[in-house]
Amino acid sequence: MADGPDMPETLRDAFLASLDWWEEAGVGEHVSDRAGGWLRTADTSAEAAVAVSENAAPPPVQEPARKPAHARFIETEPLGNHPGDPAQWPGDLAAFQKWWMESDLVDPAGAFPRIAPSGGTKAPVMVIIDQPAGDALLEGAAAKLLDNMLRAMAFAPEAAYRASILPRHTLRPEWNAIEQAGYGKLLLHQIALAQPACILGIGNRVWSLLAHETAQEPAALTKIAMDSGTIPVFAIPDLATMLRNPRSRAETWNRWLDWSDRP
């Protein structure tokens, strides 16, 4: 078939004609779906490394290491080690109770408020729990049970000195770390200032802390020796256990009758 007047005569003319056609269609450069660098270099190995890095999975996100719940009891913080140097603890009960609520040495800030110990010196009984319930030393059924027990033991509830190992409620405290930090010694210091006639230690955390500080086994905890003399101690289960366990209440009462009849 004879060529028309506008047919290219050579392959070169055909190629140039195709370029002219694409340019008139609005395509003036080579387009590729694959991403490439804006600046080309002769270093093909660098391009290959970029391609590998672009296709590689992103590195895993490193989460900051979490501190254990007890870290605040054993770390050195800007305000110092809690509960501070025993040489700086107040030597008067009223000053101690004020220091307990205000001093930065007692403990670091927390979600719950500090709860002050209550009572004066030479109380007929000193009640010790491990930590406040929240916004009060004891709340609800536990507070009612303790008052009823004190009355049954012939103590006026309002005459009891009430204290806790920790100044505020703390979620999941590590009691071994608390002991190492010196809160047991701080409790003994408070007992020495309060000078109660006897102590009601509630819960095995209180027993073990007092027993360790006085070199006694918790099961044998019946007294602690202070500079001013020996103070009798009656150890009972924690109030939550006694609330849900009638047998525990009965056993505690029978033990109290035996303990209180001792000369």
pLDDT tens-place string over residues 174-190: 888 888 888 999 999 99
Q: How confident is the model at residue 82 (pLDDT cuts 50, 70, 90)?
A: confident
242, 145 Cβ separation under 8 angstroms? yes
Mean pLDDT of the chain: 79
Residue 201: in which H helix or E strand, if any?
Answer: strand 199-202
CA distances from 59 to 53, 54, 150 (A): 11, 12, 62
More confident residue, 172 or 101: 101
194, 119 Cβ separation under 8 angstroms? yes
Q: How confident is the model at residue 48 (pLDDT cuts 50, 70, 90)?
A: low
pLDDT digits (tens, 9 = 90+) for 119-148: 999 999 999 999 999 899 999 999 999 999
Q: Which of 45-49, 76-80, 229-233 has the lowest mean pLDDT?
A: 76-80
Which DSSP category does 231 fall into?
Answer: E
Q: What is the pLDDT of residue 60?
A: 61
Structure tokens belonging to residue 153: 């033991």
In whole angstroms, what is the distance from residue 240 CA to residue 225 CA?
29
173, 99 Cβ separation under 8 angstroms? no
Q: How confident is the model at residue 256 (pLDDT cuts 50, 70, 90)?
A: very high
Q: How confident is the model at residue 219 (pLDDT cuts 50, 70, 90)?
A: low
> Is the pLDDT assigned to residue 66 strictly greater than 70?
no
* 3-state class (DSSP) for residue 91: coil
Rounded to a whole number of angstroms, the distance between the first and last alpha carbons of the chain is 136
Structure tokens belonging to residue 89: 């603890």
Share of the chain above pLDDT 90, in %: 44
Structure tokens belonging to residue 208: 């073990």
In whole angstroms, what is the distance from residue 215 CA to residue 186 CA?
16
Task: Give which of 140, 143, 171 is closest to 157, Cα–Cα.
Answer: 143
Burial degree of 73 (CB within 10 A; 0-12, 13-18, 19+): buried
Cα dihedral 31, 33, 34, 38 in deg (nearest 10): 40
Mean pLDDT for 215-230 is: 71
Residue 140 CB neighbour total at 10 angstroms:
10
Which DSSP category does 84 fall into?
Answer: -
> Is the pLDDT assigned to residue 63 strictly greater than 60?
no
